Structure 1
């Protein structure tokens, strides 16, 4: 037992020692671990920036000044903090469309937004830049005034979603602006009164597509779906028609080193950027305008100073749409580059360049604001346009487009046929020859390029040329039909069939066009300021003052006073030009069936016939505006030019008689041999005479003002009414048989008497139920005139002109309202507004006097008149008696 106890103690002691050794070994192992720790990678926590994109469909476009992210159908801007406050333009262009009457590919219907972004705490503000105000930045007081009164208004606010890891840029969502219905970036035209569009965006069918980023701009393409309604006046043409558009929006960073602006001169027709200057010295707000122009500076200034031709640092490059027919491409290029002749005269070469759409450049996008293009538009519109967009701070033209509609060919053949077929056998067919097509296309696109270079219409240019000079081969070789292709002076309708070697087309460039290019783009290396340049430029225009070849005439839209500044006219005397033109129309009409063959349906002959009627109407209306006419010229004190001069009395009297003679004797328009081939219709002469008689009966408002401003020997309202009475009632005064023109004139005069005599207590009883025409409307062109003269350069009104005529005929109204005058027609300096003449209007007195004379005349004439004429005269007498309140 004792032995067993000893053995047990011994075993326990050994076991204890073993455990102690193990424990010591474990301690040693732990100690080793502390000395040599195992390194493990910790799990990194994602930041806000990474979480925006992690695990999502993510596309990135990184450019020189900002980055775009497209994430699960949403758009994010990553804008560097250093770019906050930098000015940009945001433009919207149609790229694809299901209806190009509402949205035209390549067109920017809205002025690009001038914006900047600012950062405030956790919010990014998109602001509209208040660019109209200018001031001296060195004047601290004025700077404070501007800072308090003309801040940039906030348009939208965006929450900062994240900063980039290096905190150099912020990220915010911009999806709504590019897929929403913001009108400021809408690719849809709203139209122009009387034709307007209303579009409603379907957001559920709209989405983001392609994103791109470049050195100074980014672009976003969106697919947008709308419901569109169109209205002509009060008539709904269609309602909620589906429309799908792919739109390209460009955000362009504007340069900090800006072009030196050029102060405008109202004596030249250039597009303008309006400004207001706050002067510290004079303590007033002064309105002024800058001329819109491209930035043109010589690459080699020293060579330029030596008089050598030098290329510009930045040429004006246009890209030619590859969708144009091959035949069109060469004349389109030629029409643009012919402006280089004007630039060479001021020291620049290769300024205007035309390149094909590149096929090997993935960055090229014709709808990006960086590229100026000539675009092909498949449409029934017979037109072309040349809009441009500028830096609102300086007026620098940054982008321009020329849109050429394919049906312009129809317009060209109509022009050439009715204006030159008397002398040019090449045009006596249903279609333009390749030679004539190219010649005419080059002219049209050159006119549009003039707009893209900053030139407005100059409607007074062609009036500088004596009418008979248009028949001179020598004169026409030198000058063409006009001193400016920016006039609506088309082709030589004055030249007669026997004239030999007479040019029938406008010049490549007129002397006025070259002068405006010199004024706009001359570079002055020795001058240091805009004001210094302006003094020199002003002296150039002073030297041309009083020279009709350099006279600028505004396009007349809200009123028509100046007979020398009308569209579609030639020469300095509309009566003489009209006589020549009418001879030619008679000659063309008499040969129409002989020249136009293989026309079984008479479709082409009827089209040409309608153009002959329209051309004749223009001749008559051009002369009507001599009655009460006032020549208007932008003038400066101390120069020979005068601001307004009444048309001489003798010319006004002659114009009244000329128009009345035409209305009385234009049944040649109703050529039975030609018209019998057409469908059921009324006589064209009746339609023309009705319109012109109505205009002539209203023109007394112009006579009122013209006589008021005449310096001596005015053509008075009394004399006008006497001449009007004598001409209109010539049949009764001289006992001759009535013509259809006589009847229309007499009804028109009696109608106007009814509207006027109610003012002094007479009875309202005319031959129509129309109300008295307002003095404002009396001056303004009707919508029919807008179409006739081609005043609607967008072409939207002309498309529905026939429908408008149907409405007017049904409702017995002329739709020319104040709304139309404010609808956006006209350009640049705008137009001469209507001058209120109510205070000096004595027309009611003279209409009353005319009513008494007509009553006495008809009472004397009716007993001896033939049976047919007697019925008409009795109706006239009945109306006049009712107006006067007698039996």
Structure 2
């Protein structure tokens, strides 16, 4: 214990001694001075160290190994891990842009179409407020205020502001404070702009995103646009009506979003003339000159301006400032690429006639161009989709302020070649030995692909379907070699006029395809793209253009008739027809189908499982159904022509009584004479099924019964009408002819008679007694199923009645029906004929006649089969009228 204390005292003594020695000989004053100097030296050494600069918010965001940036002339994109930032220059605040989305890659092309923008691009702008917030707004471009500036600003501020879409906090300024940084991760990983197809018609597609399957991918920036790619994972359910076809199927998609800066200097807009079929962008106008808010439209077109305006004024051919360049997908089969390029370049012949050369250009996807991306809004591409869909389409996207087309796409599905194969065979094999094979020869396929793609290119140039074009030519002219060599099958390739099914075996030198471009097509391009250097404004241009159309009035070659979307009324504006007389064209076509069917086994030999022949046979049946339905549209038909006030043409003109009556009788004759379809030598190889003639007879009789709605309207406006009474009398005698004449019933008789009573049963709904009978009309009675419609290739809208079931509300109806010079197309909506509809009375009259007739035939029929059939029909009729005293 003592030793420990001694050891502790030693260092304390030494420490004390050292402290005294170090201060020995110095006064207290001197010691303090020395201490002060030491502190000064210490402070000086400390001040010599450089001060650490404060880290900016910009650097804090991006000084990380995860940071990836891409800078273009427009803006800079930054990706940091799973976050995405936009660096927006302040000079672009308030500038208009398009934000669109395209599918780039997918695991299933049936759910997702690469190259197609499922959603219309957003028309947006960014605004910047108080150094803290950036707003993304939708541009309110639909309104045109033609009032004084002060009032216009007041109206816009109070009533037509740009609606808010997104709000972003400013994360940082760049180093010179010329741009702001915002976090846009949610915009590019969220549910906006789903790349999954939305379905259509009976099909609905519901894609549920998996949050853990969403991941940012590539970012790119260019001179006037930026791109962001994002991976998505979905569970997809597909329904047809209430039936589930696909349930929670996995789908992976790479979506590419593009943000494109719109031109600051806007294109001069052009006003439409509804007598030509041009796509439009709808607008509204408030003006002091009128006592109402006026609807009008601007046509959709590319900005086409001459490089040398002075040379253009002299009538010389010049190149455009900006040509329309198309890029052809490198995924196409090599053999398709050349005909596709020809389809693009074909339109140059129309542009050359108005003084422009090399407008349309076709290039393959560049191999070594880092700036090129087919999913970029900036590029217009023709895309290949490896799908069994038999279709192609040509959508375009515009600047909503002017109608300027900014970008377009042509989508070509693989199995368009299957459709072409079937078209060419069933429509031209009677006269063209080249197509009598399982696989079309290259020259036939090339010219057909060129036609299909050229049609879609026409859409991307702004041209709508002109379904009335094919009715301009006399049917017999389509058998003339000289006529068809000059004009093809139709004045417009924008019609659905395919190949020359009128030409007969032995018609030498007849052209079988539509023209390269029709006269209507060339006129439409002239109207749409002629440059007017002397015109001061759009109004002066329109005066010139209106006169051009006035000069063509009355010439069927330049007549435009709208595609019938909501109702089928005009028999000259339908798809898949040729010539001015559907009965004559149908007769020629049916003659050819009989010839082709008779040689089907002979011409198609390399087909051990008979599957190709079966598909061709079904195409023959479908083609026959079209010929018959083309004639049905005459019954109750009304010719609809958009006419300018004061024009000699009639805007509404019923099909004459004689043609309607002849058409009904022709169709009834076909129903009794279509057993040629049941060729056992052909159909015997296809397996178990009922006869095609039976299915077709059922479909056609329903269409005939449904035509009564059009007869009501047509007779109401006609001076010499085919009355509803006359129609039902002809229908009664045609359907019940076997009973009236007391002959043996045929298959056609049984199907037609059962069909008529089934239609009446649904229509009349008698269970509630006479009151129920009077109030029980339903628009869906007797309508064929979607499967039947699809089987015969008929348009889903063909059977719509007079109740406007496809029009959502009265406001939409009015918008759709508003048209006039300079505004819209006013799609013809169904007309409600309930107040003038005598269908009920006529069916009651038929019921009374039938009861008497069937009572007689049930006891006195020519054979047992007929007797049993009439007894069944009588029983059905008595069930319908149970409780009703007649």
Task: Report the CA distance between 1:605 and its aligned residue.
Answer: 1.0
How far did 1:41 drift? 2.1
- Could you tell me how far apart the structure 2 residues matched to 1:163 and 1:319 are? 39
Alignment of 1:350-749 (within 5 A): 350-710=358-718, 712-749=719-756
Q: 1:307, 1:347 within 8 Å by CA — same for their partners in 2?
A: yes
**238-247 vs 370-379, which deviates more?**
238-247
Which residue is 1:95 aligned to? 104
The CA distance in 1 between the partners of 2:381 and 2:861, in whole Å, is 71
Change (3 A) 1:33 1:73: closer
Report SS of the residue matched to 1:328.
Answer: helix
Deviation readout 1:266-301 (Å, 9 max, x if unpaired): 111111100001113435311111110000000001
Moved more, 21-30 or 52-61: 21-30
Q: What is the alpha-carbon root mean square deviation over aligned residues? A: 3.1
| Cα displacement string for residues 842-880 of structure 1 (whole angstroms, at most 9, x for unaligned residues) | 011111111222223333444142111111112222333
Q: Match of 1:238, SS?
A: strand
Shift of 1:410: 0.5
Whole-angstrom distance in 1 between the partners of 2:69 and 2:529: 41
String of CA shifts for 1:155-191, please: whole Å, max 9, x gaps: 1111111122322211110001111222xx2111211
Alpha-carbon distance between aligned partners in 2 of 1:538 and 1:427, rounded to the nearest angstrom: 45
1:157 to 148, 164, 167: 167
- 2:757 corresponds to 1:750: yes
What residue is the counterpart of 2:18 in the other structure?
none
- Distance 1:35-1:846 versus aligned 2 partners, 3 A rule: closer
Aligned mates of 2:803, 2:692 — CA distance in 1: 27
Q: Distance in 1 between matches of 2:265 and 2:784?
A: 45
Pair 1:654–1:764, CA change in 2 (3 A): farther
- State the shift of 1:640 in Å: 2.5
Question: Once the 2 structures are TM-superposed, how far is the Cα of residue 86 of structure 1 from its aligned partner?
Answer: 1.1
Please give the alpha-carbon distance, in whole angstroms, between the structure 2 residues aligned to 1:106 and 1:139.
Answer: 43
What per-residue deviation string (whole Å, max 9, x for no partner) do you get for residues 45-76 of structure 1?
11211111223411111121211110122001
Contact 2:702–2:782 (Cα < 8 Å) also in 1: no
Name the SS of the counterpart of 2:502 in structure 1.
coil
Could you say which residue in structure 1 is the equivalent of 2:51? 42
Cα deviation, residue 31, structure 1: 11
**Alpha-carbon shift at residue 514 of structure 1 (Å):** 0.7
| Cα distance, 1:19 vs structure 2 | 13
Cα distance change of structure 1 residues 864 and 24 upon mapping to structure 2, 3 Å threshold:
closer
Distance 1:739 1:819 in 2: 37
CA-to-partner distance for each residue in 1:500-541, whole Å, 9 max, x for gaps? 111111101111111110111011000011111111111111
Shift in alpha-carbon separation, 1:665–1:787, aligned structure 2, 3 A: closer
Shift of 1:781: 11
Pair 1:276 & 2:284 matched: yes
User: Counterpart in 2 of 1:859?
Assistant: 855
- Secondary structure of the 1:161 match is strand
Gap change, CA 1:637 and 1:817, over 3 Å in 2: closer
Q: Which residue, out of 833, 836, 842, partners 2:838? A: 842
Partners of 2:803 and 2:830 within 8 A in 1 = no
Alpha-carbon separation, structure 2, partners of 1:739 and 1:780: 22
Residues in 2 aligned to 1:27 and 1:684: alpha-carbon distance in whole angstroms: 115
> Any conservation in 2 of the 1:470–1:495 contact (CA below 8 Å)?
yes
Query: 1:756-771, aligned counterparts within 5 Å?
Result: 756-758=763-765
SS at match of 1:487: coil
| Equivalent residue in structure 2 for 1:177, among 175, 187, 210 | 187
Change (3 A) 1:362 1:234: same
Q: Which runs of 5+ in 1 are unaligned?
A: 1-11, 798-812
Mapped partners of 2:33, 2:531: distance in 1: 96
611 and 649 in structure 1: CA distance in 2 versus 1, 3 angstrom threshold: same
CA pair 301-786 structure 1, distance change in 2 beyond 3 A? farther
TM-score (norm 1): 0.90
Mapped to 1, the partners of 2:335 and 2:573 lie a distance apart of: 35
Q: Please give the alpha-carbon distance, in whole angstroms, between the structure 1 residues aligned to 2:655 and 2:674.
A: 26
1:73 aligns with 2:82: yes
Distance verdict in 2 for CA 1:35–1:523, change over 3 Å? same
**Residue in structure 2 matched with residue 106 of structure 1 by the alignment:** 115
Deviation string, structure 1 residues 756-804 (Cα, Å, up to 9, x no partner): 44479867999xxxx9663488999967547745758xxxx9xxxxxxx
Q: How does 1:770-785 map to 2 (within 5 A)?
A: 774-775=778-779, 784-785=788-789
Q: 1:32: how far off? A: 11
Q: CA deviation at 1:37?
A: 11
Query: Counterpart of 2:821?
Result: none
1:116 is paired with a residue whose SS is: strand
Is it true that 1:219 corresponds to 2:215 in the alignment?
Answer: no
Q: Secondary structure at the match of 1:284?
A: coil
Partner of 1:804: none
Aligned equivalents of 1:18, 1:502: Cα separation in 2: 130
Q: Would the aligned equivalents of 2:766 and 2:776 in 1 still touch at CA under 8 Å?
A: no
- CA deviation after TM superposition for structure 1 residue 816, in Å: 13
**CA shift for structure 1 position 478:** 1.0
Q: Distance in 1 between matches of 2:596 and 2:42?
A: 112
CA distance in structure 1 between the partners assigned to 2:313 and 2:786 by the alignment: 53
Distance verdict in 2 for CA 1:38–1:172, change over 3 Å: closer
In structure 1, what is the Cα distance between the partners aligned to 2:688 and 2:669? 28
Task: Indicate if the aligned counterparts of 1:106 and 1:367 stay in contact, CA closer than 8 A.
Answer: yes
Residue 746 to residue 21, structure 1, CA distance change in 2 (3 Å): closer
The corresponding residue for 1:6 is: none
Match for residue 341 of structure 1 among 349, 369, 374 = 349
* Range with greater deviation from structure 2 (672-681 or 845-854): 845-854
1:598-639 superposed Cα distances (whole Å, 9 cap, x missing partner): 222111111110000000000111111110000111111111
Report if the CA contact (8 A) 2:804-2:829 is conserved. no
Task: Determine if contact 1:782/1:814 at 8 Å carries over to the other structure.
Answer: no
2:198 pairs with 171, 179, 190, which one?
190
Provide the rounded CA distance (Å) in 1 between the counterparts of 2:746 and 2:695: 14
Distance 1:779 1:529 in 2: 52
Secondary structure at the aligned position of 1:160 is classed as: strand
Alpha-carbon spacing, 1:832–1:27, altered in 2? closer, same or farther (3 Å): closer
Task: State whether residues 546 and 639 of structure 1, in contact with CA within 8 Å, keep that contact through their aligned partners in structure 2.
Answer: no
Verify the 8 A CA contact 2:566 2:800 in the aligned structure 1: no
Report the alpha carbon displacement of residue 447 of structure 1 after superposing the two structures with TM.
0.3
Are 1:874 and 2:878 matched, yes or no?
Answer: no
**Paired residues of 1:753 and 1:851 also in contact (CA < 8 A):** no
Answer yes or no: is the 8 Å Cα contact 1:193–1:819 preserved in 2.
no
Over 3 Å counting, the alpha-carbon distance change for 1:563 and 1:784 in structure 2 is farther
Give yes or no for contact 2:71–2:222 (8 Å, CA) kept in 1.
Answer: yes
Change (3 A) 1:545 1:113: same
1:132 paired to 2:149: no
The 3-state SS of whatever aligns with 2:234 is strand
The two structures have a TM-score, normalised by structure 2, of: 0.91
Does the CA-based 8 Å contact 1:377-1:403 persist in structure 2?
yes
3-state SS in 1 of match to 2:115: coil
d(CA) in 1 for partners of 2:246, 2:627? 36
The answer to whether the 8 Å contact 1:737/1:869 transfers is yes
Q: For 2:713 and 2:549, locate their aligned partners in 1 and report how far apart those are by CA, in whole Å.
A: 29
Change (3 A) 1:830 1:400: farther
Q: Is the 8 A contact 1:757 1:764 kept in 2?
A: no
For the 8 Å contact 1:276–1:286, the answer to whether it is kept is: yes
Q: Number of matched residues?
A: 848
| Native 8 Å contact 2:762 2:778 kept in 1 | no
